[in-house]
Copies of this chain bind each other. A is one copy, B any other.
Amino acid sequence: MDFPQELSVKEITEIIQGQALGDENAKALGLNELHVVRQGDVTFVDHPKYYNKVLNSSASVVIINKEVPSPEGKTLILHDQPFKAFNMLINKFRAFKSSDKFVSESAKIGKNTVIQPGAFIGNNVTIGDDCIIHANVSVYDNSVIGNNVIIHSGSVVGADAYYFQKKEGRFSKFHSGGRAVINDDVEIGSNCCIDKGVTADTIIGRGTKFDNHCQVGHDTIIGENCLIGAFAAIAGVTKIEDDVIIWARVAINKDIVIGKGAEILATSAVDKSIEGGITYMGSPVMEVKKYWRNMIFMKQLPDLIRSLKKK
C-alpha cells in the first residue's frame, strides 16, 4: 500500500514509537511485506532467520528488533515488536472506517453501472462503467472494480486477509492494508469471497469468470480469461496464469504458481506449482493420464491380493 503522502523516517518512528538507527530525514512512499516489497517501501522483520533476506530486499526502511549495521541506502528502525509496529502503521492509514450508507459518499461509480438494493459499496471504492452489482453484494473499502463487471448476490470483495500471529497462546490480527482489484469483463458468481491483499493487491485478470461459492485468498493474482468452477478454494499469495480452467471444488495451496492454460479437473487438490498446458486430476494432482492409469491399477488391487493369498 501507498501512504497518502511521502513520510519521513522521523514521522514513522513517532507513529510506531520506535528508534531510528539511521537518517531520520529518509523518506518512505508506502509499505509492503517482504514478498512484494518495492523500493521506497517500509517493511519489517522479527526473526533472525529472515534478517539477511530483508536487509538485502528492495525496501528502503526496515523495522527490526535488533541493532544491526544499516545496509547502504536503507534506514533501519529499532522496535521490540516489529509485527505490531507494522500493524500500527497500516492502521494509521487504513483503519476500518464505518459507513452510514449502503453506497459510501466517497465511492466513485461509473456510467450505466447498476447497484442493486442491499449492495454495500465501502469508502473510496472505484467501480467502472456498465457494471451490475447485484443485491446484497458487499464491497469493502478501497476496492477497485473495472468496466463491464458483473458481481452476483452475496459475494464479498475485499474483506480482510486471514492472517494472524500467535503470541503467548493467542492470535493477534494482522491488519490488511492492501486492496482487491477486479479488472474489466470479470463475472463473479453468487456467494464468492475475494479477500484484499495484506499490503499489496489481490488481482483478478480481465475476462475471468467465477462460478458460485469461490474463495480467493489475500494477495493472490489470477490471470486473464480463466474459468474458476464452483467452490474453488484458492489460498493466498498464489499466482494463476492466463487461460487456466479450474472445474468444481478444486483446492489450490498458497504460495504456488499454476501455469498458463493448465486445466484442473473437479475435486482435485493442488499442493505444488504445476506447469501450464496440461490437464491434471487427483489429490494431490498428477497428469490426468497418470491419474486414470493409477485408477486402473487400484481396481486390480483386490484381485491381486486374493490371488497372492491363495499361493
Contact pattern, A 216-250, Cβ under 8 Å of B = 1, otherwise 0: 01000000010101110101000000010000110
**A212–B212 Cα gap in the complex (Å)?**
14
Contact check: which of B135, B159, B251, B297 meets A266 at CB < 8 Å? B251
Say yes or no: is A189 at the interface (Cβ < 8 Å to chain B). yes
Chain B positions within 8 Å of A207 at CB level: 170-171
Find out whether the CB atom of B212 lies under 8 angstroms from the CB atom of A230: no
Q: What residue in chain B is nearest A206 (Cβ atoms)?
A: B170
Chain B positions within 8 Å of A118 at CB level: 102, 118, 120, 136, 138
**A217–B230 Cα gap in the complex (Å)?**
9
Contact check: which of B132, B162, B243 meets A189 at CB < 8 Å? B162
A29-75 interface (Cβ within 8 A of B): none
Find out whether the CB atom of A193 lies under 8 angstroms from the CB atom of B164: no
Find out whether the CB atom of B209 lies under 8 angstroms from the CB atom of A230: no
Say yes or no: is A304 at the interface (Cβ < 8 Å to chain B). yes
Find out whether the CB atom of B117 lies under 8 angstroms from the CB atom of A153: no
Chain B positions within 8 Å of A229 at CB level: 162
Say yes or no: is A99 at the interface (Cβ < 8 Å to chain B). yes
Please state the number of chain copies in the assembly. 3
Separation in Å of the A36 CB from the closest CB of chain B?
Answer: 21
Find out whether the CB atom of B170 lies under 8 angstroms from the CB atom of A225: yes
**A140–B117 Cα gap in the complex (Å)?**
12
- Interface SS of chain A: loop
In the complex with contacts A251-B267, A297-B302, A154-B191 CB distance below 8 A = yes
In the complex with contacts A138-B153, A162-B211, A170-B207, A120-B117 CB distance below 8 A = yes
In the complex with contacts A138-B153, A269-B266, A297-B301, A225-B169 CB distance below 8 A = yes
Separation in Å of the A222 CB from the closest CB of chain B?
Answer: 14
**A169–B152 Cα gap in the complex (Å)?**
24
Say yes or no: is A293 at the interface (Cβ < 8 Å to chain B). yes
Find out whether the CB atom of B251 lies under 8 angstroms from the CB atom of A249: yes
Say yes or no: is A98 at the interface (Cβ < 8 Å to chain B). yes
A146-171 interface (Cβ within 8 A of B): 150, 152-156, 159-160, 162, 164, 169-171
Find out whether the CB atom of A269 lies under 8 angstroms from the CB atom of B269: no
Q: What residue in chain B is nearest A98 (Cβ atoms)?
A: B114
Separation in Å of the A161 CB from the closest CB of chain B?
Answer: 10
29 contacts between A and B (CB under 8 A): A96-B132, A98-B116, A118-B138, A134-B159, A136-B136, A138-B153, A154-B154, A156-B212, A164-B227, A170-B185, A170-B207, A170-B225, A173-B187, A189-B193, A191-B191, A191-B193, A191-B213, A195-B212, A215-B230, A231-B231, A231-B233, A233-B248, A233-B249, A251-B267, A253-B266, A266-B269, A294-B302, A298-B301, A304-B305
